[in-house]
Amino acid sequence: MHIFEGRKYKVIVMKKILFLGAIFIFGNILQAQTQGWLTWYELSGYLETPRYDKTIEYCKQLDNFSPLVQYTSFGKSPQGRDLPLLIIDKNQNFTPESVRASGNAVLLIEACIHAGESEGKDAGLMLIRDIVIHKKYPELLDHVTILFIPIFNVDGHERFSPYNRINQNGPKEMGWRTTAQNLNLNRDFIKADAPEMQQWLKIYTSWLPDFFIDVHTTDGADYQYKITYGMNVYGNMNSQHTDWQNKYMAEIEEMLKIDNVLIFPYVSFRQWHDPRSGLIHGIGSPRYSTGYSAVQNRPALLIETHMLKDYKTRVEATYHMIRHSLEIMNKDYEHLIEINKNADKEVASKEYREKELAVNYETSSDSSIVKFKGIDYDIITSDLTGDLWFVYGKEKKDFEIVSFEKQKPVDFVKLPDAYVIPVEWTEIINRLSLHGIQYKTIEKPIEIEVELTRFTNVSFARSSFEGRQMVQDMGMQTLTAKKEFPAGSVIVEMNQRTALVIAHLLEPIAPDSYLRWGFFNPIFERKEYVETYVMEKMARDMIAENPKLKVEYDNEVVKNPEIYNNQYAKLFWFFARTPYWDQQLNLYPIGKIYDLNQINYL
């Protein structure tokens, strides 16, 4: 009886919920329609950006109203918010497989990775509405499927305040730069510590967008440009991709002139704040959005709107830049898809591994003179700090300025046919799948000839960075040895499209390798110690057996007084020459395999 009553009650409640839900959805559609589908930003007179709930509500309205839009979530944030994703497709294909089969190119637009930088959210919502509701630019969906993340850093977004961006001119209130765990998502692409990033990587690797636009607001100097941008055009991508991005940028620069939007490469002065020092460019490593896209063989655009322009100017400039990007992609989608596929094939090939791979770049001292549309400024000596104060005026001024943009590769690695990761390094193995990396697990212990690396003179960063203690510098010696790897260890073959991601993860010298990010820090710790009175005696026994040892020891101590400045250090010299010394200390556990024939997976 109770059960029956309970069920009846539930049915009534469910019906009520459905009814109220229908009214709610209908009410929202009605509300949006009566307001001409105006966004929160427009209704506020272009001064405000909507909170998380209002943003999601608008996204869901677009989904409810237009069959071309699907609202979905790609996971949950640490504070329990849905991570939102809108998929917009003319043929209502909403899965990576169906979109790929349709021949469309995929554009990923990401906003609010730094949640206080919200132009991408407001521009994106308006543009999608203008395409699917107002039918202003229906042709922008002809050959392109749009993935739109209106807010990536959802928890940081709700740390809402007028005081989150000290240099920035609006909106009235905004989100915070980092996540609830105080991680900067735009340093996390390759190390993938943040739960948000781990879930983002799953959608990224399943969709593999042909082009990726990441929208930010910059800090830095004053100038006339509404937008500065970053692209991988300085030599870290292959020539087809470099040419495509250069051509795209030249085209978009022309298109944006009509919209009165001036753009320029990301502005960074050689001496911070001092325009006289000249401009300097660099290559973003894979911790950043565009740097990560490059190692996934895909072009990307970093938009940095200029923080001193008012919010409306910034949102409109972003709107135009994304709209024109869609125009170019629609025109060039087949070629873009083709060069992406070519790059995938190229990095997986045997020939690719025969060349050395550059992993670190430095800005060369070659420079050129460029025209820079700046703002007039005075330099005064501050009576408060005693330092230079660049006081920007209101007058536009065109400068001729020295620019350093040429990059030279400085560190190279030799790529193996495969890497082997011992089973116990589970955190590393778990990260592989997040990046779409395929690997094979060995079922029985196996002895393989591998190339190993031993580190010397390892130094660490003095302070924590993104919750990790990074390795700053190290010497490396390579050795070849037969080594046994336990069952469950994994073989990561390089004949796959993620070869560059693998190399950047596992080659210690790479700028964002897992070794540099501190994933392997325990290997640098000495775990067994010797008592001085034991070693004092043993050292004498060793010298008695091999008198030459004393000569060697004396030479070392004289040569390196700063190292051998105490009893422990001196006795450790002998300890390291006993069979008790830990042979695994400073030894990188990951091996490089140059002969895959040695491996039988069973």
Q: Which residues sit at the interface with Zn ion, rule CB under 5 A?
A: 114, 117, 216
Number of alpha helices (DSSP H) and beta strands (DSSP E) in the chain:
16, 20
Between CA 162 and CA 124, with CA 264 as vertex, the angle to 5 degrees is: 50
DSSP state of 468: B
Element (H or E) spanning 374, and its range? strand 368-381
Residue placing its CB nearer to Zn ion in the complex, 174 or 415: 174
Distances in whole angstroms, Cα of residue 321 to Cα of each of 62, 133, 255, 348, 587: 22, 20, 9, 33, 49
Alpha-carbon distance of 455 to 478, in angstroms, equals: 9
Least separation in angstroms between residue 74's CB and Zn ion is: 21
Distances in whole angstroms, Cα of residue 359 to Cα of each of 204, 413, 500, 504: 23, 7, 9, 7
Alpha-carbon distance of 566 to 51, in angstroms, equals: 61
Alpha-carbon distance of 579 to 589, in angstroms, equals: 20
Residues linked to residue 86 through DSSP beta bridges, in sequence order: 71, 148
Residue whose Cβ sits closest to Zn ion: 216
Provide the CB-side half-sphere exposure for 528 (13 A, CA).
11
Residue placing its CB nearer to Zn ion in the complex, 303 or 401: 303
Residue pair 133/37 in contact (Cβ under 8 Å)? The answer is yes
Least separation in angstroms between residue 173's CB and Zn ion is: 17
* DSSP secondary structure, 397-463, as one string: EEEEEEEE--EEEEEEE---SEEEE-TT-HHHHHHHHHTT---EE-SS-EEEEEEEEEEEEEEE-SS
Residue placing its CB nearer to Zn ion in the complex, 117 or 507: 117
Angle between the N-to-C axes of helices 311-348 and 239-258, in degrees from 0 to 180, rounded to the nearest 10: 160
Least separation in angstroms between residue 114's CB and Zn ion is: 4
Residues linked to residue 412 through DSSP beta bridges, in sequence order: 358
Residue placing its CB nearer to Zn ion in the complex, 115 or 499: 115
Least separation in angstroms between residue 150's CB and Zn ion is: 16
Alpha-carbon distance of 500 to 514, in angstroms, equals: 14
Least separation in angstroms between residue 245's CB and Zn ion is: 20
Alpha-carbon distance of 147 to 214, in angstroms, equals: 12
Residue placing its CB nearer to Zn ion in the complex, 322 or 448: 322
Least separation in angstroms between residue 118's CB and Zn ion is: 11
Residue placing its CB nearer to Zn ion in the complex, 223 or 564: 223
Residue placing its CB nearer to Zn ion in the complex, 46 or 152: 152
Least separation in angstroms between residue 117's CB and Zn ion is: 5
Distances in whole angstroms, Cα of residue 378 to Cα of each of 78, 273, 386, 394, 487: 47, 12, 16, 11, 68
Query: What 3-state class would DSSP assign to 194?
Result: coil
Query: What 3-state class would DSSP assign to 482?
Result: strand
Residue placing its CB nearer to Zn ion in the complex, 217 or 296: 217
Least separation in angstroms between residue 130's CB and Zn ion is: 25
Least separation in angstroms between residue 303's CB and Zn ion is: 10
494 φ, ψ (degrees, to nearest 5): -90, 0
Residue placing its CB nearer to Zn ion in the complex, 216 or 497: 216
Least separation in angstroms between residue 355's CB and Zn ion is: 34
Least separation in angstroms between residue 403's CB and Zn ion is: 23
Least separation in angstroms between residue 259's CB and Zn ion is: 23
Alpha-carbon distance of 329 to 335, in angstroms, equals: 9
First to last CA, the chain: 60
